[in-house]
Chain A
Protein backbone atom coordinates (compact mmCIF):
# COMPACT_ATOMS: atom_id res chain seq x y z
CA UNK A 1 0.00 0.00 0.00
CA UNK A 2 1.40 3.37 -0.94
CA UNK A 3 1.73 6.43 1.26
CA UNK A 4 -0.72 9.25 0.53
CA UNK A 5 0.62 12.80 0.70
CA UNK A 6 -2.13 15.41 1.06
CA UNK A 7 -1.28 18.56 -0.87
CA UNK A 8 -2.58 21.86 0.50
CA UNK A 9 -4.24 24.40 -1.80
CA UNK A 10 -1.25 26.77 -2.08
CA UNK A 11 0.99 23.94 -3.34
CA UNK A 12 -1.44 22.39 -5.82
CA UNK A 13 -0.13 24.58 -8.59
CA UNK A 14 3.03 22.46 -8.34
CA UNK A 15 1.15 19.14 -8.47
CA UNK A 16 -0.99 19.80 -11.52
CA UNK A 17 -3.87 20.61 -9.16
CA UNK A 18 -3.78 17.19 -7.52
CA UNK A 19 -4.86 17.33 -3.87
CA UNK A 20 -3.15 14.04 -3.04
CA UNK A 21 -0.14 12.21 -4.41
CA UNK A 22 0.62 8.57 -3.70
CA UNK A 23 4.21 7.40 -3.28
CA UNK A 24 6.13 4.41 -1.98
CA UNK A 25 8.27 5.28 1.04
CA UNK A 26 9.37 4.11 4.46
CA UNK A 27 10.01 7.55 5.99
CA UNK A 28 8.53 11.03 5.60
CA UNK A 29 11.80 12.17 4.01
CA UNK A 30 11.63 9.41 1.41
CA UNK A 31 8.02 10.28 0.71
CA UNK A 32 8.88 13.94 0.07
CA UNK A 33 11.79 12.86 -2.14
CA UNK A 34 9.42 10.71 -4.16
CA UNK A 35 6.99 13.63 -4.35
CA UNK A 36 9.80 15.82 -5.65
CA UNK A 37 10.64 13.12 -8.22
CA UNK A 38 7.09 13.30 -9.47
CA UNK A 39 6.76 17.08 -9.23
CA UNK A 40 10.26 18.55 -9.33
CA UNK A 41 10.96 21.58 -7.14
CA UNK A 42 8.65 20.66 -4.26
CA UNK A 43 11.50 19.45 -2.03
CA UNK A 44 13.02 22.92 -2.12
CA UNK A 45 9.69 24.52 -1.36
CA UNK A 46 9.20 22.33 1.72
CA UNK A 47 12.62 21.48 3.06
CA UNK A 48 15.79 23.35 4.04
CA UNK A 49 18.96 21.43 3.18
CA UNK A 50 19.54 18.22 1.36
CA UNK A 51 21.60 15.89 3.52
CA UNK A 52 21.13 14.24 6.89
CA UNK A 53 20.47 17.61 8.58
CA UNK A 54 17.64 18.51 6.19
CA UNK A 55 14.63 19.97 8.00
CA UNK A 56 11.12 20.91 7.03
CA UNK A 57 10.85 24.70 6.71
CA UNK A 58 9.61 26.32 9.86
CA UNK A 59 6.49 27.89 8.34
CA UNK A 60 5.29 24.53 7.05
CA UNK A 61 4.14 21.64 9.18
CA UNK A 62 4.29 18.07 7.99
CA UNK A 63 2.11 15.61 9.83
CA UNK A 64 2.43 11.86 9.84
CA UNK A 65 -1.07 10.82 10.76
CA UNK A 66 -2.12 13.37 13.40
CA UNK A 67 1.37 14.25 14.60
CA UNK A 68 3.73 17.01 13.58
CA UNK A 69 6.99 15.31 12.56
CA UNK A 70 8.96 18.08 14.31
CA UNK A 71 7.88 16.37 17.53
CA UNK A 72 8.69 12.90 16.17
CA UNK A 73 11.89 12.10 14.24
CA UNK A 74 11.63 14.86 11.68
CA UNK A 75 12.14 13.68 8.11
CA UNK A 76 13.38 10.33 9.46
CA UNK A 77 9.94 9.65 10.95
CA UNK A 78 8.88 6.20 9.80
CA UNK A 79 5.62 5.79 7.95
CA UNK A 80 3.76 2.53 7.59
CA UNK A 81 2.08 1.34 4.42
CA UNK A 82 -1.21 3.14 3.88
CA UNK A 83 -0.18 6.06 6.09
CA UNK A 84 -1.22 9.61 5.32
CA UNK A 85 1.18 12.52 5.33
CA UNK A 86 -0.34 16.00 5.43
CA UNK A 87 1.47 19.17 4.49
CA UNK A 88 -0.08 22.09 6.38
CA UNK A 89 1.24 25.56 5.62
CA UNK A 90 0.64 28.55 7.83
CA UNK A 91 -2.18 30.65 6.40
CA UNK A 92 -3.05 34.08 7.68
CA UNK A 93 -6.17 35.17 5.78
CA UNK A 94 -9.27 36.26 7.60
CA UNK A 95 -10.28 39.60 6.20
Chain B
Protein backbone atom coordinates (compact mmCIF):
# COMPACT_ATOMS: atom_id res chain seq x y z
CA UNK B 1 0.00 0.00 0.00
CA UNK B 2 1.46 3.39 -0.96
CA UNK B 3 2.08 5.63 2.02
CA UNK B 4 0.63 9.16 2.32
CA UNK B 5 4.16 10.55 2.09
CA UNK B 6 4.71 8.79 -1.23
CA UNK B 7 1.41 10.08 -2.55
CA UNK B 8 2.13 13.61 -1.35
CA UNK B 9 5.56 13.76 -2.91
CA UNK B 10 4.19 12.47 -6.21
CA UNK B 11 1.42 15.06 -6.01
CA UNK B 12 3.85 17.83 -5.14
CA UNK B 13 6.07 16.93 -8.05
CA UNK B 14 3.16 17.38 -10.45
CA UNK B 15 1.72 20.55 -8.89
CA UNK B 16 3.25 23.97 -9.43
CA UNK B 17 3.83 26.03 -6.27
CA UNK B 18 3.79 29.78 -5.95
CA UNK B 19 5.24 31.94 -3.17
CA UNK B 20 2.90 34.13 -1.10
CA UNK B 21 4.68 37.31 -2.21
CA UNK B 22 3.97 36.50 -5.87
CA UNK B 23 0.29 36.03 -5.03
CA UNK B 24 0.31 39.36 -3.22
CA UNK B 25 1.81 41.08 -6.27
CA UNK B 26 -0.84 39.59 -8.53
CA UNK B 27 -3.61 40.75 -6.22
CA UNK B 28 -2.11 44.24 -6.15
CA UNK B 29 -1.80 44.26 -9.96
CA UNK B 30 -5.33 42.85 -10.30
CA UNK B 31 -3.84 40.14 -12.51
CA UNK B 32 -6.27 37.43 -13.59
CA UNK B 33 -6.28 34.75 -10.89
CA UNK B 34 -8.96 32.64 -9.27
CA UNK B 35 -7.76 32.45 -5.68
CA UNK B 36 -9.41 29.74 -3.61
CA UNK B 37 -9.21 29.10 0.12
CA UNK B 38 -9.66 25.34 0.69
CA UNK B 39 -9.52 25.42 4.49
CA UNK B 40 -12.34 24.48 6.82
CA UNK B 41 -14.77 27.18 7.86
CA UNK B 42 -13.47 27.55 11.43
CA UNK B 43 -9.94 28.06 10.13
CA UNK B 44 -11.14 31.11 8.19
CA UNK B 45 -12.31 32.92 11.29
CA UNK B 46 -8.90 34.55 11.80
CA UNK B 47 -8.88 35.88 8.30
CA UNK B 48 -8.12 34.96 4.72
CA UNK B 49 -6.20 36.26 1.75
CA UNK B 50 -8.00 39.20 0.13
CA UNK B 51 -10.03 38.33 -2.99
CA UNK B 52 -10.08 34.61 -2.09
CA UNK B 53 -13.15 32.51 -2.76
CA UNK B 54 -13.87 30.65 0.47
CA UNK B 55 -14.89 27.31 -1.02
CA UNK B 56 -13.33 24.85 1.44
CA UNK B 57 -11.89 21.50 0.46
CA UNK B 58 -14.99 19.38 1.05
CA UNK B 59 -17.12 20.58 -1.84
CA UNK B 60 -14.31 21.96 -3.98
CA UNK B 61 -14.93 19.78 -7.02
CA UNK B 62 -18.62 20.61 -6.98
CA UNK B 63 -18.13 24.36 -6.51
CA UNK B 64 -15.02 25.23 -8.50
CA UNK B 65 -16.98 25.47 -11.78
CA UNK B 66 -18.87 28.49 -10.46
CA UNK B 67 -15.73 30.57 -9.92
CA UNK B 68 -13.64 29.05 -12.72
CA UNK B 69 -15.86 28.05 -15.62
CA UNK B 70 -12.95 27.75 -18.12
CA UNK B 71 -10.59 24.77 -17.86
CA UNK B 72 -7.55 27.01 -18.52
CA UNK B 73 -8.47 29.55 -15.86
CA UNK B 74 -5.48 30.51 -13.68
CA UNK B 75 -6.38 28.95 -10.34
CA UNK B 76 -4.36 29.41 -7.15
CA UNK B 77 -5.26 27.33 -4.12
CA UNK B 78 -4.15 27.74 -0.55
CA UNK B 79 -4.78 26.01 2.75
CA UNK B 80 -3.14 26.47 6.15
CA UNK B 81 0.27 24.98 5.39
CA UNK B 82 0.37 23.94 1.72
CA UNK B 83 -0.45 20.24 1.92
CA UNK B 84 -4.19 20.21 1.41
CA UNK B 85 -3.95 22.86 -1.32
CA UNK B 86 -1.42 20.70 -3.18
CA UNK B 87 -3.74 17.71 -2.96
CA UNK B 88 -6.67 19.88 -4.02
CA UNK B 89 -4.67 21.27 -6.97
CA UNK B 90 -3.84 17.73 -8.06
CA UNK B 91 -7.56 16.86 -7.93
CA UNK B 92 -8.46 19.87 -10.05
CA UNK B 93 -5.82 18.80 -12.58
CA UNK B 94 -7.49 15.38 -12.70
CA UNK B 95 -10.77 17.21 -13.41
CA UNK B 96 -9.12 18.83 -16.43
CA UNK B 97 -7.99 22.20 -15.10
CA UNK B 98 -4.68 22.96 -16.80
CA UNK B 99 -3.47 26.06 -14.97
CA UNK B 100 -3.61 25.24 -11.25
CA UNK B 101 -1.08 26.05 -8.58
CA UNK B 102 -0.76 25.78 -4.83
CA UNK B 103 0.52 28.54 -2.57
CA UNK B 104 3.63 27.37 -0.72
CA UNK B 105 3.35 27.48 3.07
CA UNK B 106 -0.36 28.33 2.86
CA UNK B 107 -2.11 30.97 4.95
CA UNK B 108 0.33 30.32 7.80
CA UNK B 109 3.29 31.60 5.82
CA UNK B 110 1.17 34.40 4.32
CA UNK B 111 0.32 35.68 7.78
CA UNK B 112 3.84 35.11 9.12
CA UNK B 113 5.22 37.30 6.35
CA UNK B 114 2.89 40.06 7.42
CA UNK B 115 0.94 40.05 4.17
CA UNK B 116 -2.52 41.66 4.16
CA UNK B 117 -5.29 39.65 5.75
CA UNK B 118 -8.96 40.21 5.27
CA UNK B 119 -11.52 39.21 7.84
CA UNK B 120 -15.13 38.82 7.06
CA UNK B 121 -17.53 38.06 9.79
CA UNK B 122 -18.66 34.57 9.20
CA UNK B 123 -21.19 32.76 11.29
CA UNK B 124 -19.92 30.75 14.22
CA UNK B 125 -20.93 27.12 14.59
CA UNK B 126 -23.44 28.12 17.20
CA UNK B 127 -24.91 30.78 14.95
CA UNK B 128 -25.17 28.31 12.09
CA UNK B 129 -27.11 26.01 14.37
CA UNK B 130 -29.26 28.78 15.85
CA UNK B 131 -30.22 30.32 12.53
CA UNK B 132 -30.26 27.10 10.50
CA UNK B 133 -33.94 27.50 9.49
CA UNK B 134 -33.09 30.90 8.04
CA UNK B 135 -29.90 29.73 6.38
CA UNK B 136 -31.73 26.88 4.66
CA UNK B 137 -33.76 29.38 2.66
CA UNK B 138 -31.94 30.86 -0.32
CA UNK B 139 -33.70 34.20 0.27
CA UNK B 140 -31.82 34.50 3.56
CA UNK B 141 -28.87 32.11 3.53
CA UNK B 142 -25.69 32.76 5.45
CA UNK B 143 -25.22 36.09 3.71
CA UNK B 144 -28.68 37.24 4.74
CA UNK B 145 -28.16 36.13 8.30
CA UNK B 146 -24.94 38.13 8.40
CA UNK B 147 -26.94 41.15 7.17
CA UNK B 148 -29.45 40.64 9.97
CA UNK B 149 -26.64 40.38 12.51
CA UNK B 150 -25.15 43.61 11.19
CA UNK B 151 -28.51 45.43 11.23
CA UNK B 152 -29.39 48.08 13.79
CA UNK B 153 -33.07 48.43 14.51
CA UNK B 154 -34.64 50.83 17.00
CA UNK B 155 -37.99 50.07 18.58
CA UNK B 156 -39.90 53.14 19.71
CA UNK B 157 -41.93 51.75 22.57
CA UNK B 158 -41.65 48.46 24.44
CA UNK B 159 -45.41 48.15 24.75
CA UNK B 160 -48.13 46.37 22.81
CA UNK B 161 -46.49 46.64 19.40
CA UNK B 162 -42.87 46.79 20.53
CA UNK B 163 -43.20 43.58 22.54
CA UNK B 164 -43.98 41.10 19.77
CA UNK B 165 -41.78 42.96 17.30
CA UNK B 166 -38.82 42.85 19.71
CA UNK B 167 -39.31 39.17 20.55
CA UNK B 168 -39.20 38.13 16.91
CA UNK B 169 -36.48 40.54 15.83
CA UNK B 170 -34.28 39.30 18.68
CA UNK B 171 -35.00 35.68 17.84
CA UNK B 172 -34.30 36.37 14.16
CA UNK B 173 -30.84 37.62 15.07
CA UNK B 174 -31.09 41.33 14.35
CA UNK B 175 -27.66 42.12 15.74
CA UNK B 176 -28.37 45.43 17.44
CA UNK B 177 -31.77 46.16 18.92
CA UNK B 178 -32.41 49.53 20.51
CA UNK B 179 -35.45 49.97 22.74
CA UNK B 180 -36.66 53.33 23.92
CA UNK B 181 -39.43 53.64 26.50
CA UNK B 182 -39.79 55.82 29.57
CA UNK B 183 -42.48 53.78 31.32
CA UNK B 184 -42.43 51.17 34.05
CA UNK B 185 -44.30 47.88 33.79
CA UNK B 186 -47.87 48.13 35.04
CA UNK B 187 -50.21 45.24 35.79
CA UNK B 188 -52.58 46.52 33.08
CA UNK B 189 -49.78 46.10 30.51
CA UNK B 190 -49.56 42.33 30.90
CA UNK B 191 -52.82 41.76 28.97
CA UNK B 192 -50.86 42.46 25.74
CA UNK B 193 -47.24 43.50 26.34
CA UNK B 194 -45.73 40.05 26.11
CA UNK B 195 -42.17 41.18 26.84
CA UNK B 196 -43.01 41.77 30.47
CA UNK B 197 -43.84 39.54 33.43
CA UNK B 198 -45.65 39.81 36.75
CA UNK B 199 -42.48 39.95 38.81
CA UNK B 200 -41.32 43.02 36.86
CA UNK B 201 -44.32 45.21 37.63
CA UNK B 202 -42.98 48.55 38.76
CA UNK B 203 -39.60 48.14 37.06
CA UNK B 204 -38.57 50.01 33.90
CA UNK B 205 -39.94 48.45 30.71
CA UNK B 206 -36.58 48.70 29.01
CA UNK B 207 -34.95 46.64 31.78
CA UNK B 208 -37.70 44.05 31.53
CA UNK B 209 -37.30 44.00 27.75
CA UNK B 210 -33.57 43.44 28.05
CA UNK B 211 -34.08 40.51 30.41
CA UNK B 212 -36.59 38.79 28.15
CA UNK B 213 -34.70 39.43 24.93
CA UNK B 214 -31.29 38.41 26.19
CA UNK B 215 -32.91 35.22 27.49
CA UNK B 216 -34.06 34.46 23.95
CA UNK B 217 -30.87 35.49 22.21
CA UNK B 218 -27.64 36.29 24.03
CA UNK B 219 -25.97 36.63 20.64
CA UNK B 220 -27.31 40.13 19.98
CA UNK B 221 -26.61 43.55 21.38
CA UNK B 222 -29.46 45.27 23.19
CA UNK B 223 -29.34 48.99 23.83
CA UNK B 224 -31.92 50.45 26.15
CA UNK B 225 -32.98 54.06 26.61
CA UNK B 226 -35.22 54.79 29.58
CA UNK B 227 -36.52 58.05 28.25
CA UNK B 228 -39.31 59.55 26.22
CA UNK B 229 -38.36 60.32 22.62
CA UNK B 230 -38.67 64.04 22.05
CA UNK B 231 -37.27 66.76 19.85
CA UNK B 232 -34.20 67.09 22.08
CA UNK B 233 -32.98 63.50 21.77
CA UNK B 234 -34.60 62.01 18.67
CA UNK B 235 -32.00 62.98 16.08
CA UNK B 236 -29.01 61.70 18.03
CA UNK B 237 -30.85 58.50 18.91
CA UNK B 238 -32.22 57.66 15.46
CA UNK B 239 -28.89 58.45 13.77
CA UNK B 240 -27.39 55.34 15.37
CA UNK B 241 -29.88 52.98 13.71
CA UNK B 242 -30.80 51.78 10.21
CA UNK B 243 -34.52 51.20 10.67
CA UNK B 244 -37.02 52.69 13.11
CA UNK B 245 -39.99 50.57 14.21
CA UNK B 246 -42.71 52.91 15.41
CA UNK B 247 -44.82 51.29 18.11
CA UNK B 248 -45.53 54.37 20.19
CA UNK B 249 -48.92 55.24 21.60
CA UNK B 250 -49.66 58.86 20.76
CA UNK B 251 -49.96 61.28 17.87
CA UNK B 252 -47.24 63.78 18.86
CA UNK B 253 -44.65 60.99 18.87
CA UNK B 254 -45.98 59.60 15.57
CA UNK B 255 -45.31 62.93 13.85
CA UNK B 256 -41.99 63.35 15.65
CA UNK B 257 -40.84 59.87 14.56
CA UNK B 258 -41.97 60.58 11.00
CA UNK B 259 -40.20 63.91 10.73
CA UNK B 260 -36.98 62.68 12.34
CA UNK B 261 -36.94 59.65 10.03
CA UNK B 262 -37.41 61.96 7.05
CA UNK B 263 -34.59 64.31 8.06
CA UNK B 264 -32.24 61.38 8.79
CA UNK B 265 -33.43 59.29 5.79
CA UNK B 266 -34.31 56.32 7.97
CA UNK B 267 -36.98 53.81 7.01
CA UNK B 268 -39.96 54.00 9.36
CA UNK B 269 -41.90 50.78 9.88
CA UNK B 270 -45.24 52.02 11.14
CA UNK B 271 -47.84 50.11 13.13
CA UNK B 272 -50.82 51.42 15.04
CA UNK B 273 -53.76 49.88 16.84
CA UNK B 274 -57.13 50.89 18.23
CA UNK B 275 -59.57 48.47 19.88
CA UNK B 276 -59.94 45.79 17.16
CA UNK B 277 -58.29 47.67 14.28
CA UNK B 278 -54.72 47.76 13.15
CA UNK B 279 -52.73 49.62 10.50
CA UNK B 280 -49.29 48.78 9.14
CA UNK B 281 -47.21 50.49 6.49
CA UNK B 282 -43.63 51.39 5.60
CA UNK B 283 -42.42 54.94 5.01
CA UNK B 284 -39.19 55.28 3.03
CA UNK B 285 -38.15 58.94 3.09
CA UNK B 286 -37.77 60.62 -0.26
CA UNK B 287 -38.96 57.53 -2.11
CA UNK B 288 -42.45 56.71 -0.89
CA UNK B 289 -45.04 58.68 1.03
CA UNK B 290 -44.49 59.75 4.64
CA UNK B 291 -46.89 59.73 7.59
CA UNK B 292 -47.87 63.32 6.81
CA UNK B 293 -48.77 62.32 3.24
CA UNK B 294 -51.08 59.69 4.70
CA UNK B 295 -52.47 61.77 7.55
CA UNK B 296 -51.71 65.46 6.98
CA UNK B 297 -53.05 66.42 10.38
CA UNK B 298 -53.66 64.68 13.68
CA UNK B 299 -57.24 64.39 14.91
CA UNK B 300 -58.25 67.10 17.34
CA UNK B 301 -57.83 66.20 21.00
CA UNK B 302 -60.70 64.04 22.20
CA UNK B 303 -61.52 62.77 18.72
CA UNK B 304 -59.08 59.87 18.85
CA UNK B 305 -59.06 58.29 22.28
CA UNK B 306 -55.97 56.30 23.25
CA UNK B 307 -55.95 52.60 24.05
CA UNK B 308 -55.82 53.56 27.72
CA UNK B 309 -59.14 55.34 27.26
CA UNK B 310 -60.87 53.19 24.65
CA UNK B 311 -59.33 49.79 25.22
CA UNK B 312 -57.61 47.41 22.85
CA UNK B 313 -57.90 43.69 22.24
CA UNK B 314 -54.75 42.32 23.87
CA UNK B 315 -53.91 40.01 20.98
CA UNK B 316 -54.32 42.63 18.26
CA UNK B 317 -50.83 44.15 18.70
CA UNK B 318 -49.45 40.65 18.21
CA UNK B 319 -50.63 40.63 14.59
CA UNK B 320 -49.62 44.22 13.92
CA UNK B 321 -46.26 44.13 15.75
CA UNK B 322 -45.27 40.88 14.08
CA UNK B 323 -46.21 42.36 10.69
CA UNK B 324 -43.83 45.24 11.53
CA UNK B 325 -41.11 42.73 12.42
CA UNK B 326 -41.59 40.91 9.11
CA UNK B 327 -41.34 44.16 7.16
CA UNK B 328 -38.19 45.09 9.10
CA UNK B 329 -36.49 41.80 8.31
CA UNK B 330 -37.49 42.03 4.63
CA UNK B 331 -36.02 45.53 4.43
CA UNK B 332 -32.75 44.37 5.99
CA UNK B 333 -32.55 41.40 3.63
CA UNK B 334 -33.77 43.35 0.60
CA UNK B 335 -36.29 40.67 -0.30
CA UNK B 336 -39.95 40.62 -1.26
CA UNK B 337 -42.30 43.59 -1.53
CA UNK B 338 -42.64 45.80 1.49
CA UNK B 339 -45.71 47.83 2.45
CA UNK B 340 -44.11 50.94 0.96
CA UNK B 341 -46.97 52.70 -0.84
CA UNK B 342 -49.56 50.46 0.78
CA UNK B 343 -51.50 50.73 4.00
CA UNK B 344 -52.45 47.35 5.39
CA UNK B 345 -55.51 47.54 7.61
CA UNK B 346 -56.63 44.72 9.84
CA UNK B 347 -60.05 44.28 11.37
CA UNK B 348 -59.87 41.61 14.05
CA UNK B 349 -63.65 41.41 14.49
CA UNK B 350 -64.15 40.56 10.83
CA UNK B 351 -60.73 38.87 10.61
CA UNK B 352 -60.16 40.89 7.45
CA UNK B 353 -57.04 42.39 5.99
CA UNK B 354 -57.45 45.15 3.49
CA UNK B 355 -54.94 47.01 1.40
CA UNK B 356 -55.14 50.69 0.51
CA UNK B 357 -52.86 52.67 -1.73
CA UNK B 358 -50.76 55.43 -0.17
CA UNK B 359 -49.16 58.15 -2.25
CA UNK B 360 -46.70 60.97 -1.90
CA UNK B 361 -48.70 64.12 -1.41
CA UNK B 362 -47.40 66.92 -3.66
CA UNK B 363 -48.61 69.36 -0.99
CA UNK B 364 -46.92 67.50 1.88
CA UNK B 365 -45.39 70.13 4.20
CA UNK B 366 -42.48 67.77 4.96
CA UNK B 367 -41.57 65.69 1.91
CA UNK B 368 -43.34 67.67 -0.83
CA UNK B 369 -41.50 69.92 -3.29
CA UNK B 370 -42.25 73.06 -1.26
CA UNK B 371 -41.75 72.02 2.34
CA UNK B 372 -42.77 74.26 5.22
CA UNK B 373 -41.63 71.83 7.91
CA UNK B 374 -37.86 72.04 7.59
CA UNK B 375 -36.90 71.11 11.14
CA UNK B 376 -38.43 69.50 14.18
CA UNK B 377 -41.42 71.39 15.55
CA UNK B 378 -43.37 71.44 18.82
CA UNK B 379 -45.36 68.23 18.40
CA UNK B 380 -47.43 68.53 21.54
CA UNK B 381 -48.65 71.88 20.34
CA UNK B 382 -49.16 70.59 16.78
CA UNK B 383 -51.40 67.82 18.09
CA UNK B 384 -53.33 69.91 20.60
CA UNK B 385 -54.45 72.60 18.17
CA UNK B 386 -58.14 72.86 17.43
CA UNK B 387 -58.50 73.30 13.71
Q: Does B303 contact A (CB under 8 A)?
A: yes
In the complex, what distance in Å separates the CA atom of A60 from the CA atom of B273? 15
Q: How far is the CB of B80 from chain A (nearest CB, A)?
A: 53
What does DSSP make chain A's interface, helix, strand, loop or mixed? mixed
Give chain A interface residues in 65-95, CB to chain B under 8 Å: 66-68, 70-71, 86, 88-95
Contact between chains at B304 and A19 (CB < 8 Å): no
- Give the contacting residue for A58; candidates B295, B306, B354; CB below 8 A: B295
The answer to whether residues A58 and B355 also contact, given A89-B304, A92-B304, A95-B160 and a CB cut-off of 8 A, is: no
Contact between chains at A58 and B296 (CB < 8 Å): yes
In the complex, what distance in Å separates the CA atom of A53 from the CA atom of B5? 94
Chain B residues, Cβ within 8 Å of A10: 274-275, 304-305, 310
Chain A residues, Cβ within 8 Å of B380: none
A1-35 CB mask vs B (1 if < 8 Å, else 0) is: 00000001110000000010000000000000000
* Stretch touching chain A among B196-204, B213-221, B243-251: B243-251
- Give the contacting residue for A94; candidates B160, B275, B349, B359; CB below 8 A: B160
Contact between chains at A92 and B277 (CB < 8 Å): no
- Give the contacting residue for A89; candidates B157, B162, B299, B356; CB below 8 A: B299
Chain A residues, Cβ within 8 Å of B305: 10
Contact between chains at B357 and A94 (CB < 8 Å): no
In the complex, what distance in Å separates the CA atom of A88 from the CA atom of B347? 12
Q: Which residue from chain B places its CB closest to the CB of A93 in the assembled complex?
A: B307
Chain A residues, Cβ within 8 Å of B183: 95
In the complex, what distance in Å separates the CA atom of A61 from the CA atom of B343? 11
The answer to whether residues A93 and B345 also contact, given A9-B275, A10-B274, A58-B297 and a CB cut-off of 8 A, is: no
In the complex, what distance in Å separates the CA atom of A92 from the CA atom of B140? 33
Chain A residues, Cβ within 8 Å of B300: 59
In the complex, what distance in Å separates the CA atom of A60 from the CA atom of B300? 11
Q: How far is the CB of A36 from chain B (nearest CB, A)?
A: 17
Measured as residues with beta carbon below 8 angstroms from the partner, the interface class of chain A is 20 to 34
Contact between chains at B358 and A68 (CB < 8 Å): yes
The answer to whether residues A93 and B249 also contact, given A9-B275, A10-B274 and a CB cut-off of 8 A, is: yes
Give chain B interface residues in 194-237, CB to chain A under 8 Å: none
- Give the contacting residue for B356; candidates A9, A19, A68, A70; CB below 8 A: A68
Chain A residues, Cβ within 8 Å of B97: none
Q: Does B326 contact A (CB under 8 A)?
A: no
Contact between chains at A95 and B356 (CB < 8 Å): no
In the complex, what distance in Å separates the CA atom of A57 from the CA atom of B295? 10
Q: How far is the CB of B263 from chain A (nearest CB, A)?
A: 21
Q: How far is the CB of A40 from chain B (nearest CB, A)?
A: 18
Q: Which residue from chain A places its CB closest to the CB of B295 in the assembled complex?
A: A90
Contact between chains at B272 and A91 (CB < 8 Å): yes
Chain B residues, Cβ within 8 Å of A71: 359, 361
- Give the contacting residue for B279; candidates A57, A60, A91; CB below 8 A: A91
Contact between chains at B157 and A94 (CB < 8 Å): yes
Most chain B beta-carbon contacts within 10 A, residue among A9, A59, A67, A91: A91
B141-180 CB mask vs A (1 if < 8 Å, else 0) is: 0000000000000000101111000000000000000000
Q: Which residue from chain A places its CB closest to the CB of B277 in the assembled complex?
A: A9
Q: Which residues of A contact B (CB under 8 A)?
A: 8-10, 19, 57-61, 63, 66-68, 70-71, 86, 88-95
22 A/B residue pairs, CB under 8 Å, sorted by A:
A9-B276, A10-B310, A58-B296, A58-B387, A59-B295, A59-B296, A59-B297, A59-B298, A61-B294, A66-B356, A67-B357, A70-B361, A88-B279, A88-B356, A91-B279, A92-B254, A92-B272, A93-B273, A94-B249, A95-B159, A95-B161, A95-B183
Q: A61-B294, A71-B359, A95-B160 are in contact. List 4 more A-B contacts (CB 8 A).
A: A90-B294, A93-B249, A93-B312, A94-B160
